[in-house]
Structure 1
Amino acid sequence: MRKRRARHTGRFLQTVIYLGKLFRMFLFQNDWKVLPMSAIIAGLVAFSVGQNLYKTMEGTLMGSFAVSCICIWNGFFNSIQVICRERAIVKRDHRSGLHITSYVAAHMIYQAVLCIAQAIIIIFIFSSMNVQMPAKSLITNWPLVDVGITLFLITYCADMLALLISASARTTTSAMTVMPFVLIVQLLFSGAFFNLPKQAMPFTNLTATKWGLTALCAQGDYNSLPMVSIWNNALKMKNVEIDGQKPLLEIFKYIEDNDMRDDILIKTAQQNQNEEYAFSKDVVYKCWNCLIIWTLIYVFIAVVILEFIDKDKR
């Protein structure tokens, strides 16, 4: 009787049924723990790198990378085990009439809700800890909404990649074994934070980290911020003596006496601007589109893999 009913259950109803199951698991099987974990990680990052976020070029680049890492981490842990832990059940239900598209759609909706909640948590934690956020918006009328959309898309893209891994893995152990490798690739090929050889740069386009970091820098108007690292490093040499004199110390005194420090920081920043981080709608839309495209690719591959789950003899 059960098999007969399953075969005549439509895709929409199956989606609703599995969606209800996922939310029950959220409440009764401790899946809700991903939310407080997101808050803790956001708090640690805000405490560590939030001081200079959207205040200096270096602080914005480092902070945007760290925020992207939060999103990638959240997305991976949301779904890395959700399919492989019930692989036998999925195989049985598929033979009984389960539509894989309905099953994956339920996961997509459920994971989207989690990712939205995590994006809101990050913004709330950062705001509570007085981390400066972008003051200008590009897409909507509210800068925090723009940033929130970016955080959601990064998290959701990573989430769907983890869902793909979970659909491919035989057990939760194998999924968790693969996850650190994929996480390292996402972080290493961010495209900006690490100095990669030119031959490796095309691979950065394959990562959610690159597009998330770029969008966050653009939304923070990276190119209009001062650069302080060159000044700070030069300042360390102010007491260096040459022929019994300290020429750099005299220069620094002259600069400070004439209130020229900020002008020099701006001039230094102008020489280190990056067109990829331009404060432009086109840049943000491009990043959002790439994140959406990769998300859809991951979902499509996951569906294809699960469609052949009956033939899996592992």
Structure 2
Amino acid sequence: MKKKIRRRGRFSQTIIYLGKLFRMFLFQNDWKVLPMSAIIAGLVCFAVGGNLYKTMEGTMMGAFALSCICVWNGFFNSIQSICRERAIVKREHRSGLHISSYVLAHMIYQATLCIAQVVITIFVCNAMKVTLPSAPLVTPYPIVDFGITLFLITYAADMLALLISSFAKTTTAAMTIMPFMLIVQLLFSGGFFNLPEQAMPLTNLTVTKFGHTSLCAQGDYNSLPMVSIWNSALKMKNVEVEGEKPFKEALQYIEENNMREDLLLKSAEQNQNPNYAFDSNIVLDNWMSLIIWALAYVVITVIILENIDKDKR
């Protein structure tokens, strides 16, 4: 009479694989993603952090850059997580591994990494004196709202990379796909680049669109001054027309009469975007979209891995 083999339940398997992932974090150099996130955040803050949440243009560029940081971090966290041990997953699945437990362990582990990266990013921003949102929208603390947005962007990108890792043949294939996916995420962010009208629906398929919109709304984008016209006029102040310098005279008149701020705000009024209104509903809607996309990526990952036994690779 054959002895019945008792297999571990889903919860036990999740704990076992979670422990394995944290051991890999310590002993297989997976911890390197944390200092890398600090370096990337520092470079971005140095390059574009000066005008973040101070002007419309600075906020647009800074929010886009922050979204880039999050997507980059999320992609690098898990792009090789599954494909590097595909043979092991296939063998253990045949021996009783529950794919849902395996993926759930990755979800918990990656969420921990994402939280750590968000904390590091916020710390770097504060250390480099970057202006952050000063008024809350959802929680009582603006820094918490800001952190949740960064986390959801990072985590959604992380789950997308996990999905790519689940069907990529090798780690080389996964790393080859990643730059293409990064370009798609950045190009179709929906706010930073002027896309043709027919391309706008594609922005709803990207993580960056919802993250960028939420970051702009949290910074009260529509109440900020717009400085592009003023800066362009300053560049032309020495232009002569029939021996005179009309731009210089106009700029002097504006400054002498303390009209500069009013002019910047009037310029901003013509460029307000209702999608970036300082409204908690806008932020919550974008958070929900990021959560839905993250869950969708997870479901597809589970479906792909449930059929790993059919993979002849």
Instruction: Give TM class, smaller chain.
Output: over 0.9
Which stretches of structure 1, 4 residues or longer, exceed 3 Å deviation after superposition?
Answer: none
Secondary structure at the aligned position of 1:286 is classed as helix
Q: After superposition, where does 1:250-289 map in structure 2 within 5 Å?
A: 250-289=249-288
User: Matches of residues 167-186 of structure 1 in structure 2 within 5 Å?
Assistant: 167-186=166-185
Which residue number in structure 2 is paired with residue 219 of structure 1?
A: 218
1:43 matched to 2:29? The reply is no
Which sits farther off after the overlay, 245-254 or 54-63?
245-254
How many Å apart are 1:243 and its aligned residue?
2.0
Match of 1:111 in 2: 110
One-letter amino acid of the structure 2 residue matched with residue 39 of structure 1: A
Report the alpha carbon displacement of residue 250 of structure 1 after superposing the two structures with TM. Answer: 1.3
CA distance in 1, matches of 2:115, 2:287: 15
How far, CA to CA, are the matches of 2:246 and 2:51 in structure 1? 30
Letter in 2 for 1:175: A
- SS for the counterpart of 1:160 is helix
In structure 2, C-alpha distance between the alignment counterparts of 1:304 and 1:177, rounded to whole Å: 23
- CA–CA distance in structure 2, aligned partners of residues 165 and 4 of structure 1: 37
Using the TM superposition, give the Cα deviation of residue 240 of structure 1 relative to its aligned residue in structure 2, in angstroms. 1.7
| Inter-partner Cα distance in structure 1 for 2:17 and 2:214 | 34
Show structure 1 runs of 5+ residues with no match. none
Please state how far the C-alpha of 1:138 moved relative to its aligned partner.
0.3
Distance 2:98 2:169 in 1: 20
Q: Does the alignment pair 1:304 with 2:303?
A: yes
State the partner residue of 1:89: 88
**Residue 249 of structure 1: CA displacement?**
1.6
Residue in 2 that maps onto 1:153: 152
Per the alignment, residue 10 of structure 1 pairs with 9
The structure-2 alpha-carbon separation of the partners of 1:248 and 1:62, relative to structure 1 and needing over 3 Å to count, comes to same
Give the C-alpha shift of residue 4 in structure 1.
6.6
One-letter amino acid of the structure 1 residue matched with residue 167 of structure 2: S
The residue type paired with residue 297 of structure 1 is A
Taking the aligned partners of 1:48 and 1:71, their CA distance within structure 2 comes to 16
The residue identity in structure 2 corresponding to 1:273 is Q
TM-score (norm 1): 0.98
Q: CA deviation at 1:248?
A: 1.7
Q: 2-side partners of 1:249 and 1:170: how far apart?
A: 63
CA displacement, residues 19-65 of structure 1 (integer Å, 9 cap, x when unaligned):
00000100111100000000000000111111000000000000000
Deviation at 1:140, TM superposition (A): 0.7
- CA-CA distance at 1:195 after TM superposition: 1.0
In the alignment, what sits opposite 1:198?
197
Q: Is the aligned partner of 1:133 residue 2:132?
A: yes
Task: Number of aligned residue pairs: give it.
Answer: 311
- Cα distance in structure 2, aligned partners of 1:65 and 1:192: 8
Q: Distance in 2 between matches of 1:246 and 1:132?
A: 37
- Matches of 2:244 and 2:173 in 1, distance apart? 64
1:207 CA displacement:
0.5
Task: Return the offset for 1:269.
Answer: 0.5
Equivalent residue of 2:68, what SS?
helix
What letter corresponds to residue 125 of structure 1 in structure 2?
A: V
Q: Give the C-alpha shift of residue 214 in structure 1.
A: 0.4
Are residues 135 and 17 of structure 1, via their aligned partners in 2, closer, same or farther at CA, if it must alter by over 3 Å? same
Q: Deviations over 1:262-297 (max 9, x none)?
A: 110011001100000000011100110110010011
User: RMSD value over aligned CA atoms?
Assistant: 1.1
Alignment identity in percent? Answer: 73
The corresponding residue for 1:73 is 72
Supply the distance in 1 between the matched residues of 2:38 and 2:311 (Cα, whole angstroms): 38
Give the letter aligned to residue 95 of structure 1.
R
TM-score by length of 2: 0.98
In structure 2, give the amino acid aligned to 1:128. A
Separation (CA, whole Å) in 2 of partners of 1:31 and 1:151: 21
Give the AA of the match of 2:38.
Answer: A
Distance 1:247 1:77 in 2: 53
